[in-house]
Amino acid sequence: MTSQVFSTISTSVGTPLDDPDTRRYQQIIGSLQWLSCMTRPDITFATSFLARYSNQPTESHMEAVKEIMRYLRATNLRGICYSESANQGLEAYTDAAFGDHLHRKSTSGYQFKLAGSPVSWRPVKQTIQAGSTADAEYIAATLASKQARFLRNLLDELPAREIVNLQQPFVLHCDSTNAIPNLNRPEITKRSLHIDAAYHFVHDAVQQGWINPVHVGTLDMAADGLTKALDKVKHAEFTRLLGLTDSQVHKGVSVT
């Protein structure tokens, strides 16, 4: 979703909703979360953000929810399309937005693509305060690498293993030029010692050879919109990078 969704939300408390409207808000958020997890990753960040206020929503939160629904109505033909002609390998993208203005916690986001479109995506609010953008990206890469291991094990149990070469390392795209060198170094350096040991999973995965971190430019980062609100132009580019298309564009091709 675009940053317009958040234009009515301020850091102030705002006017709280009464009990009936609060229940309605929670019901709508539940429906939006289901949709965002199934076929509409383009609303995932906005829905996840607004779900944080489900216990005490305000009028501004409800207005933002209505904006998401208006967006969905305007893009009701949009969905995920898997193509036989697209890259059949599993591609991973990981990103992080450093320190939000409310709690100073960073947000991680990852997306995995197969056959040209997403198969797994998620924004995650980091539970610890990252000391820098590079630290936030490093932590985000660990969350993505854990999901990569799950997907690799899943694909190994499916007929897809005949299509996807699971013997090759997963390429993990990251737009941080500072985080990638830390992942590639044989030993954890002093610069990374302050990061909790649980988040060095990705470093071990790289050293074991089943994760290959590769730099990608910010403009080509397919997980960017999972970590922050974007303006209209950037959001349109984000949906393109996700691989979302309108169903009439692919007549005769299955769109979920």
- Under 8 Å between Cβ of 113 and 91: yes
Tell me how far apart the terminal alpha carbons of the chain are, to the nearest angstrom.
19
What is the pTM (predicted TM-score) of this model? 0.84
CA atoms within 13 A on the CB side of 89: 10
Calculate the CA 237 to chain-centre distance: 15
Query: Any long-range contacts for 219-225 (C-beta under 8 Å, 24+ apart)?
Result: 220/173, 221/93, 221/95, 221/173, 221/175, 222/93, 222/111, 222/113, 222/173, 223/93, 223/94, 223/95, 223/109, 223/110, 223/111, 223/121, 224/95, 224/109, 225/42, 225/45, 225/109
Task: Record the tokens describing residue 247, joined without a space.
Answer: 């169903």
How does pLDDT run along the chain (256 residues), one tens digit per residue? 555 555 555 555 679 999 999 999 999 999 999 999 999 999 999 999 999 999 999 999 999 999 999 999 999 999 998 877 666 678 899 999 987 766 678 899 999 998 888 999 999 988 877 778 888 898 899 999 999 999 988 888 887 666 677 778 889 999 988 888 878 776 665 555 456 555 678 888 888 988 999 999 999 999 999 999 899 999 999 999 998 988 765 544 444 4
Amino acid 87: pLDDT: 66
Output the pLDDT for position 128.
77
pLDDT at 13: 62
Q: How many residues does the chain have?
A: 256
| For the chain, domain boundaries | 3-76, 91-226
Please answer whether residues 212 and 169 qualify as being in contact, where contact means their C-beta atoms are separated by less than 8 angstroms.
Answer: yes
pLDDT value, residue 180: 86
Q: What is the CATH number of domain 91-226?
A: 3.30.420.10
pLDDT at residue 255, as a whole number: 46
